[in-house]
Structure 1
Amino acid sequence: MRIALLLLLLTASAAAAAPTAPSGGVQEPATSPTATARAAARIPRSVWGVGADDLQINPQSGLQCPARLGAYRRDRVYAYDGAGLDVDCNYVAQGRRITLYLTRLDGADLGRIYDNAKTSLVKVGAELHPQLLAEGPRQDEGFSWRMALYGEDGGLHSSLWVGELDGWLVQYRATYPGDDDASIQADLSVFSHQIRASAGAHLDLCARSEAKPGVGKRIDTKDAATDAAMSGILMASAALAAEDGKAKPAAATTWCFAKAIAVGQHGFIAWRAVDGAGADGNAVRITPLTLDDPPALDIALDPAGAQIDSELGRPPRWTASWRRGPKTWVFAFYDGRPDLDDAARLTDDILAGKAHALSSYDSASHAVTISTPSK
């Protein structure tokens, strides 16, 4: 199976082929017309995932852009970076166009962004001779907006709205007939409600707990043989308990953006897990930047394993597992919450076929495989 990886430091249109993922008979899915169209547009699914009814989802922010929003039809989504931290959704209706931008601020000054956006609007639309008609603060759907309204040739109006949401820039650019000012404001309230309900809910949940530093190191393969055997047995036991209806339902997990990481020319995103209340979920995830749905390396503190560690008088170990289809591989153990950069290097090695799986479990055949570490 081959996975197309994106270069982290280039735009979303940059792509590179990655080596083979772990062996195990997993077949690459047939390419659908939708996948072909997305590949042609070079919009990676690690930046814009696809949900039911063609819902476009930016996992980094939680923003959801439906195919239709009020009277508007979505005609594109876009990414201005390779990591999914600077995106837009564009919507059109009769004679109207609204573009919704969402960008991680990372300490950038909102006032300067607003001033630069006004300058850009006037410069880019110079042939329409934009003239400032009104400017001032606005309050809507819990947002504090900075708004500027311009008149343009042909009786058009263009309005610019800039606000902030949990450390992310929210911006609208709307162009429409000049007598539609009041109805456009009502339309933008619908857009703001959608942002609050999707990105707002996600970012608020993630903000309820702080990211914990990862200092855990990989345990030497030779010392992990016993843990590998135990992990395979625990995976099988958990799967069989689930089939028998004896397992506790899995807790809801939300994955929050942690950081973007470059390993050579390949880009990765690190995530941290939170539970339904926003508390730390004792798990991290590494995903490559891909055109197709990205695979994931999950590294988690296993409660059953932690109990064994406690009985052995050692710190709880974190298990690095990789799941594709019915098969799960264990590739490493960490002696604490893992260092995210090292976890990304491990993910890169897995994709390149350089990492040695310690154990695996196939839920279809219930087969447990224990690998013998090389000497």
Structure 2
Amino acid sequence: MVEDVSKIYKIYEKPSDRLKQYFSKNKKYYREFSALHKMSLRVRRGETFGIVGRNGSGKSTLLQMICGTVMPTTGSIQVHGRIAALLELGAGFNPEFTGRENIFLNAAILGYPKNKIEKKIDEIIQFSELEGFIDQPVKTYSSGMYARLAFSVAIHVEPEILIVDEALAVGDARFVAKCMRRINDIKESGATIIFVSHDISSIRTLCDRVLWLDRGKEIDVGDVFPITSRYMEYMFKDSDGLQTSSDHPSTEPEQIDLVESLDTRPSSHWGSHTGTIKYAAVQNIQGKKADLISWGMDIKISIRYKLNEEIANDNLTVAFSIKDLKGNDIVVAVSKQVIDDGSEYSERRVDFSLKNYLSPGKYLLVATVEKRNGSDVHYYEYYEGAHYFVSISDETMFGVFCPDVEVNSVSL
């Protein structure tokens, strides 16, 4: 439990100012930097709790105080359970020691008995995939090898609380996938996990709740999907006019008064020209809006929009994605550049035709009108939650996207 915690650092312009301050009681030779401001937070036992925020928002400072490596300036923190933390790459490692020696050192720092780590040493080395380098000094390791070893130790010391702060960012995709599976196993065992990442899809997949920090202050805390939607909107717009949680007390999507043909419960809605999209829905083959679609059914994604004189027609594209309720993109498609037919400001429609191969469940439609120029994308309108719908099937299906796959069996 974090109760009214603040962290203020003293910033000295030159080393001699520290000495002057030691002998001075009335004059300040430093300026104060507030890394965290009056933070109160309760993470429940067995919960997977995410933290998002841009660089410098106070995420790492908060985690360091929870772990006890940094003391708060004001307030109190209570932790119940053994913590295994991946805060900084190679933290707790001695670069002169070998990988094997650092396993014992790191486990001891985490409070794990030597006799138990001896029984798990082979499993740790195997998971890290460093068998050929484990008896070499870790100062010779790459950043990815550091991450493998640190993560492997942390997940094998049976933590009651696992803290991961962007430690997987340096790993290759295959190892990251293996780590994510292991984190899920730890989650299912009942451990508490605090997970910090810039990867929103990982936050949405793993976490039960999320905290959004910015400039040392809490912006919002609560349900993952609406908060991460607001966070992505903010990061795209890079706005200075950010509201804190006291200004925005509810995590429910804001009710936006739009035309009747659009769902009025968007989880995220923004862009430089909102109101450009007039209609977006999943339709059956007859062109009727379909809230219930069967697996294998032919469907259309229909988007109607209207430009104005402030929107240039060149490099204009219309796109859609279908997301699950955690916000993971399942299907994404982008139209080719819209052809200028001379009726530049009339209402237009773009249809995408496809078969429904979504496994049974609830989904939402995202519709966008964009300007694409290479890798640069400008959103005239981004409407996440234009249509909520359900996919159904008489058969039991596994996975999320289940296409009709042709199977040939051949005797050999």
TM-score (norm 2): 0.24
Larger Rg: 2
Greater per-residue helix proportion: 1
TM-score (norm 1): 0.25
